[in-house]
Amino acid sequence: MVGLKEMLLAEQRRLEKIIHTSQRELKNAPEGTLRLSTSQNRPQYYHCTKNSKKNGTYISRENKFLIQQLAQKSYNEKVLKCAEKRLSQIRKITKDYNDHEIEEIFEKEHIERKKLIQPVEPTWEQKMKSWAAEVYQGKEFQDNVPLIFTERGERVRSKSEKIMADYFFRNNIEYKYERPLLLKGYGTVYPDFTFLSRRTGEEIYWEHDGKMDDPTYARNAVKKIEAYENNNIFPGERLILTFETEYTILSTKTIEKLVEKYLN
């Protein structure tokens, strides 16, 4: 599964933090355990230690701090045991796990042997080639729109879109400009850029809103974002958003950071 190792490593880091926190708190925990019983529908608390009676020493309700410490200790011990068990399992998996190991079996075959083999599933290169070859009809340009062309030779609507498209082109990031997308309950939209994510196998959409100081434009932009969300395409997941105003210009550094986060 593409992206599984990244998810496992993230879970590994989470478990390591949980273990560290639990161990730190257990160092300061009191000796013994807490035993609870009920009398007349009211809880009673007992402190069980090596030197206490068989059923433990009664703890007054006024001693809430000790009661809470012992309860927390028991909880932390259970969490620690569970986290250590899962961490051990994950470490064994991630030690030699490779998201692309099945694909790499085919890629490592001799070029002549590859011609004789049908991969059990399409390789990333095959998927991308098929995706890139798709023919679509983009949004038409009005007569009053300036003529702006990218290094790839396609026409775009703004200088910012040209900067973005040229960056993708120079960095060999395959994209589709204004490929139509049907959003239920809203209609057809034309995302500025559409990508195919190797990490998830899903399409990612990039909307650049360049006139956010225009109230009408901004309202329409917000409605479109809501339409994406209503179709389970959320910012920070499959939707990348960038904005400009007259005084706030999109920088190449921002493009680089977003590409690194979502497209690599």
What is the tens place of the pLDDT at every residue in 154-209? 999 999 999 999 999 999 999 999 999 999 999 999 999 999 998 888 999 999 99
Dump the DSSP string for 171-182.
Answer: TT---EES--EE
CA distance 244 to 160: 9
CA distance 84 to 86: 6
Look up residue 206 and give its DSSP letter: E
Q: What is the per-residue pLDDT across 106-120, written as a single tens digit (0 to 9) for each? A: 999 999 999 999 999
> What pLDDT shows up at residue 48?
94
Rounded to the nearest 10°, the torsion over CA 211, 216, 221, 226 is 160
> What pLDDT shows up at residue 1?
59
CA distance 93 to 87: 10
Q: Which residue has the higher pLDDT, 77 or 201?
A: 77
CA distance 263 to 241: 13
Residue (of 12, 32, 31, 8) closest to 20 by Cα position? 12
Look up residue 32 and give its DSSP letter: S
CA distance 195 to 202: 8
Residue (of 209, 203, 199, 201) closest to 261 by Cα position? 199
Q: What is the per-residue pLDDT across 43-67, written as a single tens digit (0 to 9) for each? A: 999 999 988 888 899 999 899 999 9
Half-sphere exposure of 45 (CA within 13 A, CB side): 17
98, pLDDT greater than 70: yes
Structure tokens at 89: 């399992």
What band does 99 get if pLDDT is binned at 50, 70 and 90?
Answer: confident
C-alpha torsion sign, points 252, 195, 127, 130: negative
What band does 2 get if pLDDT is binned at 50, 70 and 90?
Answer: low
- CB of 85 within 8 A of CB of 15? no
CA distance 63 to 245: 61
* Phi/psi at 35 (5° precision): -115, 135
Structure tokens at 252: 């190449």
CA distance 194 to 177: 7
Rounded to the nearest 10°, the torsion over CA 169, 172, 242, 189 is 80
15, pLDDT greater than 90: yes
SS3 46: strand
Query: Which alpha helices (DSSP H) does the chain contain, by range?
Result: 4-27, 64-96, 101-107, 111-114, 124-132, 159-170, 215-230, 252-262
- CB of 3 within 8 A of CB of 99? yes
